[in-house]
């Protein structure tokens, strides 16, 4: 049986290269969107590489400059010689059809990439990997091919399309303030400041151990799914799904977990718990408690969930420092910081691709003498850099002495949610109350003071350490 050649069209490749040599407009229009793997013939790949080098040297591409660059690289003969280059431009009477040549070349390039990906998938599956590993590998290869086909370009404002889109958006908001409201959190003042959690935003919720960051994040998931009927994916790297579900039921039912664990539930408690259980069973909350999961695996699972459910509204990850990275780094704290930086960057890209808000929890360094600030983010200043919103939970009663609570210096259960970074809106402080027995945060109806910008923020000084410096080693 004859061996089938990979898809290619040498005439279209030669015609496209000829158009690039002949027309400077065609060069500026498509040269940067082409890659060497888009061309099947080796000499054509060499010519494209040389063209990019000529343009990179701020020179016009023509037969002379191209031949000079190839001669300099020692590739003139591999590209077919001066005669072959001259024939490319001479054989094209007009560059008017360059788009058709471009589409043919790109089509064959994608088909070749898909064939290579399919062969790799077959070889991997024949080696007998675990089911999830095989599926993730296949999805990543196909996804990488699809991303290569995406092309964007600088868009001018002169055509009015972008401007009109912006004006239309704010006209809609003027007539309906909730027109572009994101996922509501259930906390009135937080929703007012953020207008709901917005699509494609990475929201980092950070706190020191024992402050209730998992509880607050699950309260948001609970409101979104059990009250609003949305779909959420929860990735719990620290807590098994049974414990997550347990917290969800007792919180939504407003039942004391202490009474439940000690077998002292009342008839009313049982009624509330069963109502909460029924709502949870009918909800669209999906929980994954895999340990050391990577952003690529999270993305893969979320893609499948969105496809099967017809959409996805919210992702919650508990928490960043327990995630693994698809990149390989050596040992040591510095390398762990690089790994966390890679993770947060991938989470932001994931939020953008899925077009949903992603809530990622993060640990803070153990410093008990002051309320949290951005420099306390553990292991990487990249967390602050990549996040659209950074929120801290501050609960003075956790570190207060019994005497301070007894004297009324610290109110038991009083909590503060500090919005320390908000890329598209104001900063602020939000007064909450933590109900420990039901692991639930609630709004404080009569706030002692209005939401305000955090007072601890200051302009960075020259001698300030960069965010993340001095972090304790990852545990």
**Which CATH number characterizes residue 120's domain?**
1.10.860.10
Given its phi and psi angles, is residue 403 left (phi above 0), alpha (psi -120 to 50 degrees) or beta? Answer: alpha
How is residue 410 written in tokens?
């610290």
| Gap between the Cα atoms of 101 and 296, Å rounded | 35
351, 354, 355, 360 alpha-carbon torsion, rounded to 10°: -30
User: Is the CB of residue 320 less than 8 Å from the CB of residue 246?
Assistant: no
Shortest CA distance to 136 belongs to which of 295, 337, 315, 310? 295
Is the residue at 169 inside a domain?
Answer: no
292 and 411 together in one domain: yes
How is residue 160 written in tokens?
């009015």
| Gap between the Cα atoms of 410 and 414, Å rounded | 8
**Strand partners of residue 314:** 232
3-state secondary structure of 286: strand
Residue spans of alpha helices (H) in 285-364: 295-309, 333-354
Is the residue at 73 inside a domain?
Answer: yes
Beta strands in 323-398 (DSSP E): 358-363, 389-394
108, 112, 113, 115 alpha-carbon torsion, rounded to 10°: 140
| Gap between the Cα atoms of 358 and 200, Å rounded | 7
Is the residue at 99 inside a domain?
Answer: yes
21 and 122 together in one domain: yes
Q: Classify the C-alpha dihedral 158-160-165-167 as positive or negative.
A: positive
**Domain tally, the chain:** 2
144 and 218 together in one domain: no
Residues in the chain: 475
Q: Which of the listed residues 123, 148, 173 is the one where a domain comes to its end?
A: 148
In the prediction, which pLDDT does 151 show? 56
User: Angle at CA 104, nearest 5°, toward 99 and 107?
Assistant: 120
Active site residues: 238
Is the residue at 452 inside a domain?
Answer: no
Q: Please give the model's pTM, rounded to 2 decimal places.
A: 0.65
Q: Classify the C-alpha dihedral 229-233-236-241 as positive or negative.
A: positive
332 and 397 together in one domain: yes
89 and 206 together in one domain: no
Is the residue at 175 inside a domain?
Answer: no
Residue spans of alpha helices (H) in 36-127: 42-56, 63-73, 81-90, 98-126
| Gap between the Cα atoms of 267 and 76, Å rounded | 88
| Gap between the Cα atoms of 270 and 274, Å rounded | 6
Q: What's the Cα-to-Cα distance from 449 to each of 65, 421, 453, rounded to whole Å?
A: 70, 20, 12
234 and 376 together in one domain: yes
Is the residue at 29 inside a domain?
Answer: yes
Q: Which of the listed residues 124, 148, 172 is the one where a domain comes to its end?
A: 148
In the prediction, which pLDDT does 231 show? 92
310 and 402 together in one domain: yes
Query: Residue 22 is part of which domain span?
Result: 10-148
Q: Tokens 């490749």 belong to which residue?
A: 13
| Gap between the Cα atoms of 307 and 311, Å rounded | 6
200 and 247 together in one domain: yes
In the prediction, which pLDDT does 465 show? 41
Tell me 176's DSSP state. Answer: -
3-state secondary structure of 351: helix
| Gap between the Cα atoms of 319 and 234, Å rounded | 11
How is residue 332 written in tokens?
């040591």
User: Angle at CA 174, nearest 5°, toward 168 and 178?
Assistant: 100
From first to last of its 475 residues, the chain has per-residue pLDDT tens of: 445 788 899 989 899 998 988 888 888 788 888 888 899 989 999 998 898 888 888 788 888 888 889 989 898 888 888 888 888 877 777 888 888 999 999 999 989 988 988 888 888 888 877 777 787 788 778 777 776 655 555 566 666 677 788 788 788 878 877 777 888 998 988 988 888 999 999 999 988 888 888 999 999 999 999 988 899 999 998 888 888 988 889 988 888 888 888 888 889 989 999 999 998 888 899 998 887 788 888 888 888 888 888 889 999 998 888 887 766 555 544 476 777 888 888 899 889 988 999 999 988 866 555 777 777 775 556 777 888 999 998 887 777 777 777 767 777 778 889 998 898 888 888 888 888 888 889 888 644 444 444 444 444 444 444 443 333 333 3
**Strand partners of residue 428:** 419
In the prediction, which pLDDT does 138 show? 82
How is residue 278 written in tokens?
């029924």
430 and 357 together in one domain: yes
Which residues neighbour 222 within 8 Å (Cβ) at sequence distance 6 or greater? 186, 248, 251, 252
CATH number at residue 206: 3.40.50.300
Is the residue at 403 inside a domain?
Answer: yes
361 and 437 together in one domain: yes
| Gap between the Cα atoms of 79 and 46, Å rounded | 6
In the prediction, which pLDDT does 381 show? 65
92 and 34 together in one domain: yes
In the prediction, which pLDDT does 467 show? 40
In the prediction, which pLDDT does 307 show? 83
Q: Tokens 């327990």 belong to which residue?
A: 322
Is the residue at 457 inside a domain?
Answer: no
| Gap between the Cα atoms of 415 and 433, Å rounded | 5
Which residues neighbour 185 within 8 Å (Cβ) at sequence distance 6 or greater? 191, 194, 196, 197, 219, 220, 223, 224
A 10 A CB-CB count for 191 gives 18
- Residue 7 CA from chain centroid, whole number: 35
Q: Which of the listed residues 106, 131, 148 is the one where a domain comes to its end?
A: 148
207 and 348 together in one domain: yes
């Amino acid at each position: 049986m004859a061996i089938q050649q990979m898809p290619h069209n040498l005439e279209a490749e030669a015609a496209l290269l000829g158009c690039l040599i002949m027309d400077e407009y065609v060069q500026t229009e498509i040269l940067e969107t082409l890659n060497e793997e888009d061309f099947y013939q080796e000499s054509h790949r060499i010519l494209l590489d040389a063209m990019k080098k000529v343009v990179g040297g701020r020179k016009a591409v023509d037969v002379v400059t191209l031949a000079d660059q190839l001669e300099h690289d020692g590739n003139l003969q591999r590209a077919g010689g001066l005669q072959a280059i001259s024939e490319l431009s001479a054989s094209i009477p007009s560059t008017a059809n360059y788009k058709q040549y471009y589409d043919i070349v790109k089509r064959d390039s994608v088909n070749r990439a898909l064939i290579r990906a399919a062969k790799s998938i077959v070889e991997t599956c024949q080696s007998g990997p675990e089911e999830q590993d095989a599926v993730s590998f296949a999805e990543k290869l196909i996804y990488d091919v699809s991303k290569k086909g995406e092309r964007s370009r600088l868009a001018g404002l002169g055509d009015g399309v972008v401007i009109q889109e912006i004006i239309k958006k704010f006209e809609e908001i003027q007539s309906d303030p909730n027109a572009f409201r994101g996922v509501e959190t259930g906390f009135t003042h937080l929703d007012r400041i953020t207008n709901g959690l917005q699509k494609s935003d990475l929201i980092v919720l950070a706190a020191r151990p024992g402050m209730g960051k998992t509880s607050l994040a699950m309260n948001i998931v609970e409101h979104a799914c059990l009250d609003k009927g949305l779909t959420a994916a929860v990735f719990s790297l620290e807590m098994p799904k049974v414990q997550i579900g347990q917290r969800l039921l007792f919180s939504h039912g407003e039942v004391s977990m202490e009474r439940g664990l000690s077998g002292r539930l009342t008839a009313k408690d049982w009624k509330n718990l069963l109502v909460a259980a029924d709502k949870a069973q009918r909800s669209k909350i999906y929980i994954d408690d895999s340990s050391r999961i990577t952003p690529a695996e999270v993305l893969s699972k979320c893609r499948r969930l969105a496809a099967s459910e017809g959409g996805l509204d919210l992702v919650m990850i508990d928490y960043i420092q327990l995630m693994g990275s698809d990149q390989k780094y050596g040992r040591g704290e510095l390398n762990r910081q690089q790994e966390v930086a890679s993770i947060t960057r991938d989470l932001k890209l994931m939020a953008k691709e899925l077009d949903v808000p992603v809530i990622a929890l993060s640990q803070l360094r153990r410093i008990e003498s002051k309320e949290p600030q951005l420099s306390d983010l553990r292991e990487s200043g990249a967390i602050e850099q990549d996040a659209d919103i950074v929120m801290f939970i501050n609960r003075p009663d956790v570190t207060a002495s019994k005497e301070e609570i007894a004297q009324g210096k610290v109110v038991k259960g009083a909590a503060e949610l500090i919005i320390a970074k908000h890329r598209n809106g104001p900063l602020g402080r939000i007064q909450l109350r933590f109900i420990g027995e039901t692991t639930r945060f609630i709004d404080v109806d009569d706030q002692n003071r209005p939401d305000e910008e955090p007072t601890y923020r200051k302009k960075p000084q020259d001698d300030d350490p960069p965010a993340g410096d001095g972090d304790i080693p990852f545990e």
